[in-house]
Amino acid sequence: MNRRDLILKLNQKFQWIEFTNEMEELGFIKHEFISSALSNPQKTPINSGNVMLVENFIEGGAIKDTSLLHINPYIIFRPLTEHQLADIVKTSNKYEIPITFAGGKTGLSGAYANFGIIVDLADLQSEIIEYSIDLEKGLLDVAQGVLVSDLIKIVPRLSKGRYIFPIQPASAFKLPVRIGGIISTDASGVTSGKLGSVIDWLENVRIMNPNGKCTKIFKNDPNFNKIVRGNGYFGIVLNATFKLYQPDENLSQVIIFGDDVNLAFSGLQRVLDEKIFPLVSEFVISPFKLPGKFANLSETIKWATLIQGSLSEAESFVKIMENNTICSKVWLNNDEFDEYLKERSTYALLVQTADKSSDYIAFPGFEDVLSPPNTYQKYYRQ
């Protein structure tokens, strides 16, 4: 049985007619096709709010995440309000129809791929506040749809450099990574070697339960970890409160690079043995020459690591790498460092969308090289 036939067979088990009829009674408008509306622009439906897109192969084929793992959903919702979201959640729960939630669509696991109902939360408007910063307590209240890239810029500016947002996935520098997504996956990022992941900084989270009711879950609640790592299965993230991180002043930035990957891992392992954890440490490797901005550093460059931290941390990192590897270094200003981070983040798309081995790039963060590099050494000796 092929996938399409299997999905059709699974869909036949659900009470779709009863579900859609009840949703229409709740004020939702059913649309199956958009071709006729396109011929008359004045009647073109707005595909957000109380619109229910049923078996729409155009929209269904387009709602994908970075993983490229995809199943056409039977129904797509794009609620604007929490009231609309509650109606969707309660009714799908009543009819026991599978439902998943999409935010920035930057996931690499295809977690929201679903033949039943997909709820796109990109347009959901917060009923509390988009974001606010308490500089006295070092806290950030933020809605699920806020872009992490905005917080990376806004928090230092509003606090005049006193605080930074502690969770900075590298993909956020290029992709629309949102707060709801990083909470539901317990994301980390370029600062994870020193600061850890979401669960280390999240104070509380406001969620919507499967019954459509909203509640706030605090860190001491036994269900807190389920929400943080639950991909929306135990509750839909609506708002959250984060602690902010106060970094050292006058951070230094340096890029270290070379062409012997085995020696690079030996050097990194030595850095870990010495327990040196700069604020940012991002690593990128390739069996072939690194492309883009990295290629301008050397004719034979196959690995590079970006370091940001106190001057003593950066200098100690460099010294250990120079003693254990064959490498070069370039000290960077803030703008140059940010440009390299953005360049590094584009490689995620390259790996996910290209099959050519000559384009293969790996990009582990510091948390991914905490163990001895036996696996990597074996791979590169083949």
What pLDDT shows up at residue 360?
A: 47
Q: Which of 199-203, 293-297, 378-382 has the lowest mean pLDDT?
A: 378-382
Type of residue at 124? L
Dihedral (C-alpha) 345, 351, 357, 358: value to the nearest 10 degrees?
-30
Distances (CA, A) of 54 to 42, 92, 95, 120, 307: 21, 14, 16, 14, 49
| pLDDT bracket for residue 7 (50, 70, 90) | confident
What pLDDT shows up at residue 373?
A: 35
The mean of the pLDDT values for the chain is 82
Question: pLDDT digits over 179-197, tens only?
Answer: 998 998 888 877 777 888 8
| pLDDT bracket for residue 87 (50, 70, 90) | very high
The answer to whether residue 234 scores a pLDDT higher than 70 is: yes
pTM exceeding the 0.85 threshold for the entire prediction? no
Question: pLDDT digits over 356-373, tens only?
Answer: 444 444 544 444 443 333
Please report the domains of the chain, with CATH numbers, ordered by start residue.
Answer: 3-120 (3.30.43.10), 131-243 (3.30.465.10), 252-381 (3.30.70)
Token pair for 314: 């950066």
What pLDDT shows up at residue 61?
A: 60
Question: pLDDT digits over 322-345, tens only?
Answer: 999 999 999 999 899 989 988 877
| Average pLDDT rounded to a whole number, residues 244-269 | 90
The answer to whether residue 378 scores a pLDDT higher than 50 is: no
